A and B are shown apart, each in its own frame.
Chain A
Amino acid sequence: MSILIDSSSNVMVQGVTGGEGKFHSRQMKQYGTNVVAGVTPGKGGSEAVGVPVYNSVKEASSNHEVDVSVIFVPAKFAKDAILESVDNGVDLVVCITENIPVHDMSEVYHYVMNYTNSQLIGPNCPGVISPGASKVGILPGDVFEEGNIGIVSRSGTLTYEISSELTDNGLGQSTVVGIGGDQIVGTNFVDVLDDFDDDPETELIVLVGEIGGSEEERAAEYIEENLTTPAVGYIAGFSAPKGKRMGHAGAIVSGEQGTAETKAKVLEEQGIPVGRSPSELADLAARAMGS
């Protein structure tokens, strides 16, 4: 068991003929993901990484069963690509693309939430992996291992760091979800938390956050009120100066709000231990798993 994706998920790649799209489609296939089709307008009828390429999502989804779409198109076409997938009824859309205008995402977010039944993960995210079963996105497969920890994170590479620490300590993962570091993302912490709580295989949740906003605080309260699965946390940015945007559009401390210190405090008050470094987090997770 896992959440969002498993070995039966059929995956379509939007932007399959581009450099990144091609490289990561190949990596996904090698991992065992069922990549069934690709879409690049104008390249229909050709083939890439051993799968047929179509001009539109409509064509691809009428020739194949598609459960998940993963998007690698450039930022200025990303809104269009997301809408094309959700309008064609794709259940899960994972958008890897970064630097999408925040106004585009504001519109897309409200459209997807109000007018479709699809779920959007990202943008500016590493994707989702259910170790041993399927990966959708750009996560490096070999740092993950099958197991019982569910990870949800706002960051990409930091997620690999933490997963690798866990794997090295013999702690595998049920599913790892990178929700993305932008100000507006389709799926938030709380949306993933419920899925993990319902998944019998997930015994512990690892919440990986960073400075800025108040999603971590909301997630902590949500866990305390609604979840039976225990959780541990990590927050990046303890040493970040105020008022400076640390890479991610959302990662900025303004005034006393959104600091790592205040977030860690809120999490700990809700009974969620917080690691100060990835290796300390792994120790906390090991303790919580009773190993």
Chain B
Amino acid sequence: MRLLEYQGRLLLKEAGITVPEGAVTESPEEAFRITSEQLNGKAVVKAQVPVGGRGKAGGIKIVDSPEEAREVSKSLLGSELKGEEISRLLLVEPVNIDREFYTSVLLDRGTKGPIVIFSVEGGVDIEEVAAETPEKIHKVRPDPIMGLQPYMIRELLYEAEIEDEVFKGFYGLVEKLFRAYQEYGATLVEINPVGLTKGGELLALDSKVKIDDDSRAMEEVKRVLPEGEERRDKTELERKAADAGLQYVELDGTIGVIGNGAGLVMATLDVLDQKGGQPANFLDVGGGADADLMAKAYEIVTEKEGLNGLFINIFGGITRCDEIAKGIVKALEEKEAELPLVVRLTGTNEKQGRKILEENGIHAAESLDEGADNIIEKSSN
């Protein structure tokens, strides 16, 4: 899960990294109050949306008075930035920065271990720096079992020619950032820019944090973040599905889809798409789904408005077809089907599953192609 800036800030702060004074809000009145009471009358107002390049897109504004904070907040809240609706603003104190740097720790798919990156080019897109001036990017790859060693931090900072007066500060920052990566089970912790003040203080001015959904530290992460705040990037149905333990992604089409296994559901969406159908969602009931979970999946998928058909495509493995069939029957008992329904059922305990469906008047298609053709035909009537 990707955290918004103000959420990542809370985790970094908890890890002992200094961030500028600030607070988050949803209302212009509160923006006024925060600016006058907490930030000495001046503030940087930052839209909290999960996209990069917010400054250039107009999502970051500097205000010189509480009144201006209120006006700017009024115009930002509810508007869209790069397709994302702005529902929250982070207000922080403006700080006088002498120089800007970049540092991050990420889990690399290639080496399957962490990479620690440091650069004197802060405040700009690091991928651009990597493309144009790769010599300004310094990396170390700690062994995931041994962790980050002191010599590695020294190596990074000497390569970047960090001066003696601030060396210790940077050393501590990188050390804390790596600890945050480990302790929260993060896949990315990035501070860009790191601000160095005239007084030699280091501040995390902006950050990007991603936490592994299966992290052992999820409880800890949720403790630090305000309740329910970690999933603001999901739609209401997506949140509901996540609570039920289902992988659901809302799409734009009209045919609801339930399947088991991410790969098979993706293939199902592709086949529907190629045949001219428009999938309304991705829903993976996962491995070993039982009747209750299947019924829940049915409930969530059919809750979306504007559907004109439902396609259930199950290939049993760890999932048993009889459980799936029971779930479908259960769901239909609870909520009478108003939609055309096509079920394709095969694999583990297929015979038992088909029998349960047939006893309830549902014929199961034999192949993915047949099922997809059937639902497209039925849903376009």
Contacts and interface: CB of A to CB of B under 8 A. Distances in A.
21 contacts: A102-B215, A106-B107, A111-B145, A138-B287, A140-B348, A143-B347, A157-B317, A158-B261, A161-B264, A165-B367, A183-B109, A236-B266, A239-B270, A239-B273, A240-B269, A246-B249, A246-B262, A246-B265, A247-B265, A248-B263, A249-B212
Contacts of A139: 317
Counting contact residues on chain A (CB < 8 A from B), the size range is 35 or more
Residues of B contacting A: mostly: mixed
B195 interface: no
Interface in B333-365: 346-348
Interface of B: 107, 109, 112-114, 143-145, 182, 185, 187, 212-216, 247, 249, 251, 259-267, 269-274, 279, 282, 284, 286-288, 315-319, 346-348, 367-369
A160 B107 contact: no
Nearest to A243: B50
B216 A237 contact: no
Contacts of B212: 101-103, 249
A135 B304 CA distance: 40
Given A184-B109, A276-B270, 14 more contacts: A101-B185, A109-B144, A110-B113, A139-B317, A140-B317, A153-B263, A156-B263, A157-B263, A160-B317, A165-B367, A239-B272, A239-B279, A240-B269, A241-B249
Given A20-B288, A140-B316, A157-B260, A106 B114 contact: yes
Interface in A76-109: 76, 96, 98-107, 109
Contact of A246 (B185, B187, B266, B274): B266
A200 to B, nearest CB: 29
Contact of B144 (A107, A161, A246, A251): A107
A46 interface: no
Interface string A267-291: 0000000001111000000000000
A107 B143 CA distance: 8
B269 to A, nearest CB: 5
Contacts of B216: 76, 101, 103-104
B267 to A, nearest CB: 5
A184 B214 CA distance: 13
A103 B317 contact: no
B102 to A, nearest CB: 19
B313 to A, nearest CB: 9
B213 A249 contact: yes
A251 B109 CA distance: 12
Contacts of A98: 286-287
A248 B262 contact: yes
A62 B94 CA distance: 67
A247 B270 contact: no
Interface string A198-229: 00000000001011011000000000000000
Nearest to A103: B185
Q: For A157, A211, A279, which residue has the most chain B Cβ atoms within 10 angstroms?
A: A157
Contacts of A96: 318
B264 A157 contact: yes
A237 B315 contact: no
Contact of A103 (B215, B251, B315, B368): B215
B269 A164 contact: no
A105 B107 CA distance: 11
A147 interface: no
A26 B67 CA distance: 72
B54 to A, nearest CB: 16
Contacts of B347: 140, 143, 157, 160
Nearest to B265: A247
Nearest to A97: B287
> Nearest 3 A-B pairs (CB), nearest first?
A155-B263, A247-B262, A157-B261
